[in-house]
Structure 1
Amino acid sequence: MTSLIDTSRRTIEAPLRAVGSFFAMCLDTFRAMGRRPLQWGEFFLQAWFLVRVALIPTLLVAIPFTVLVIFTLNILLVEFGAADLSGAGAGLGSVTQIGPLVTVLIVAGAGATAICADLGARTIREEIDAMKVLGIDPIHRLVVPRVLASTVVALLLNGLVISIGLVGGFFFSVYFQNVTPGAYVSSLTFVTGLPEVVISMVKAGLFGILAGLVACYRGLTVKGGPKSVGDAVNETVVYAFMALFAVNVVVTAIGVKFGTGS
């Protein structure tokens, strides 16, 4: 009976310790962001690395996703006799949903996994321990530049996906569904304005920060050999998706509450 209780206690305590250590690393990261000097070289290197990793997947996901959402929405508008409002639908869908959701998929599926694999490989090679012995803070030296790079790249990807959504919506509305170009462009701002854009960028920024933190935490806490790095990468995808979609729901609900229409 005692052994069963101890086993149950260890089963409960392990996830709680992991969550606690994750939030402790987040706090250390935010504190380290205010320390100077910021590792600008590492920041630009990681930002370029994430762009190379995420750009092609972003294009491959954004284009068909845009076609699916905008094309289906326009079909409904045509059925209701409101084809001239296709621009309004494309603007609302691209800014509030397509941009952030594709950013979630790419940041968590491509960017975060690349960061986790990089730090995980350094961890099992004991490079992180060597840095600590030399008096170098891994949080300030490695985590902060990667979190900032992930945030900046997420914002850029969100803007790219929104642009793809608006241009793709124009192309399919005008050339496939016989909507006049003037009607499409004039209706873009009917229900989408600055508040929706701000909420969208806030979502993307939060996605970048959270995905970077999750990836860095799993990379720095890898134990074992190369197999454990692969397991950490898989866990990063799952945890990041769960956290990012939860953030998306919360921020969207806040936007709706304050009347932004997000």
Structure 2
Amino acid sequence: MPMALTGFVGRKAGSALGQVGELFVIVLEGLRRTWDVRNWFWEFVAQCWFLARITSVPVLLVSLPLGATVALQVGELAWQLGAASATGSAVFVGLIREVAPLASALLIAGAGGSAMTSDIGARNIRDELAAMEVMAVNPIHRLVTPRMWAASTVAVCLCPLVILAGATGGYFFNVVVQGVTPGAYFDGALSLVVGSDLYVTLFKAWVFGFIAAAVACYKGMTCQTSPVGVGRAVNQSTVVTFMLVFAFNYVISAVYFLAYPPKAF
């Protein structure tokens, strides 16, 4: 029994490491021909438009109640402590440092990434990828490269929408409902935010969008050649992307706080 269990764990670990290696191969191969923009530019534009069209409205609908909830919870606690004007600081710091890149990445993964996986998976089961290779067209250069850059670009562009919508929701609950003056709300909002927070947020969003597209394309290109295999690949790509996004978010935030410790209020 212990030998069988050891063999099972070893096979699973070997399979996981093999999948990680295949993912890195696809990512590096996709980056290798990035300089040849004219071969993938129009696909990049089409993917940017597609991702922006399916994520812009949902990200606004998610960010509005999210900012309002943060303002409501923090505002109640700050009101009891006699520091209601500090709610704006908490709302903006939370939105800029954590909520904006995570919300944009999760929507890219959930809406755009699932569509990428199903599209490339459908091409895979119809042998279109093999046909491209027969015609001396590298499917990674033609399909994966523009999708990785499009997802990272759109993820960066979604961050301002998340911040604006979240700040609007926080303003409603903090100013309209709780009676804090607009001047105190915005003054507190700008007291703790520094320029490096925004730069790191945009960097996070770029990395998260890149990860979402890379995982989605990898799962689509390596799925089982059946409709059930495509469905499983869509589910797996979403789950794996969420896990990687949260892991990378922790690492980047930890490094950032070590390099730039938060200033006192």
Q: Which interval holds the TM-score relative to the shorter structure?
A: over 0.9
Is residue 203–residue 251 contact of structure 1 (8 Å, CA) maintained in 2? yes
In structure 1, the residue corresponding to 2:262 is in which secondary structure?
coil
Q: Is 1:214 equivalent to 2:252 in the alignment?
A: no
**Greater mean deviation of Cα atoms: 229-238 or 11-20:** 11-20
| Structure 1 partner of 2:61 | 60
Is residue 39–residue 145 contact of structure 1 (8 Å, CA) maintained in 2? yes
Partner Cα separation in structure 1 for residue 6 and residue 93 of structure 2: 53
Q: 5+ residue gaps in structure 1?
A: none
Is residue 44–residue 149 contact of structure 2 (8 Å, CA) maintained in 1? yes
Amino acid at match of 1:180: T
Amino acid at match of 1:251: I
TM-score by length of 2: 0.92
Cα deviations by residue, 1:78-115 (Å, 9 ceiling, x for unpaired): 11111122221221111112212212321221121111
Cα deviations by residue, 1:152-192 (Å, 9 ceiling, x for unpaired): 11111112101111222222211011010111122222111
Partner Cα separation in structure 1 for residue 175 and residue 66 of structure 2: 18
1:4–1:168: structure 2 CA closer, same or farther, 3 Å change rule? closer
Mapping 1:36-51, distance limit 5 Å? 36-51=37-52
**Greater mean deviation of Cα atoms: 116-125 or 6-15:** 6-15
**Greater mean deviation of Cα atoms: 56-65 or 144-153:** 56-65
Q: Which runs of 4+ in 1 moved over 3 A?
A: 1-12
Is residue 158–residue 204 contact of structure 1 (8 Å, CA) maintained in 2? yes
| Structure 2 partner of 1:131 | 132
Partner Cα separation in structure 2 for residue 9 and residue 72 of structure 1: 47
Partner Cα separation in structure 2 for residue 199 and residue 16 of structure 1: 30
1:118–1:170: structure 2 CA closer, same or farther, 3 Å change rule? same
| Structure 1 partner of 2:112 | 111
Q: CA deviation at 1:10?
A: 4.0
User: Percent identity among equivalent residues?
Assistant: 37
Partner Cα separation in structure 1 for residue 100 and residue 5 of structure 2: 49
Q: Is 1:73 equivalent to 2:105 in the alignment?
A: no
Q: CA deviation at 1:36?
A: 4.3
Q: CA deviation at 1:147?
A: 0.5
Amino acid at match of 1:221: T
Amino acid at match of 2:247: A
1:39–1:78: structure 2 CA closer, same or farther, 3 Å change rule? same
| Structure 2 partner of 1:31 | 32
Partner Cα separation in structure 2 for residue 92 and residue 228 of structure 1: 42
Q: CA deviation at 1:56?
A: 2.8
Cα deviations by residue, 1:184-242 (Å, 9 ceiling, x for unpaired): 12222211111111111111111001111000101111122111000000000110000
Amino acid at match of 2:160: G
Q: CA deviation at 1:252?
A: 0.9
Is residue 66–residue 98 contact of structure 1 (8 Å, CA) maintained in 2? no
In structure 1, the residue corresponding to 2:38 is in which secondary structure?
coil
Q: Is 1:84 equivalent to 2:85 in the alignment?
A: yes
| Structure 1 partner of 2:167 | 166
Q: Is 1:197 equivalent to 2:198 in the alignment?
A: yes
1:123–1:97: structure 2 CA closer, same or farther, 3 Å change rule? same
Q: CA deviation at 1:7?
A: 6.2
Is residue 120–residue 229 contact of structure 1 (8 Å, CA) maintained in 2? yes
Q: CA deviation at 1:11?
A: 3.7
1:10–1:86: structure 2 CA closer, same or farther, 3 Å change rule? closer
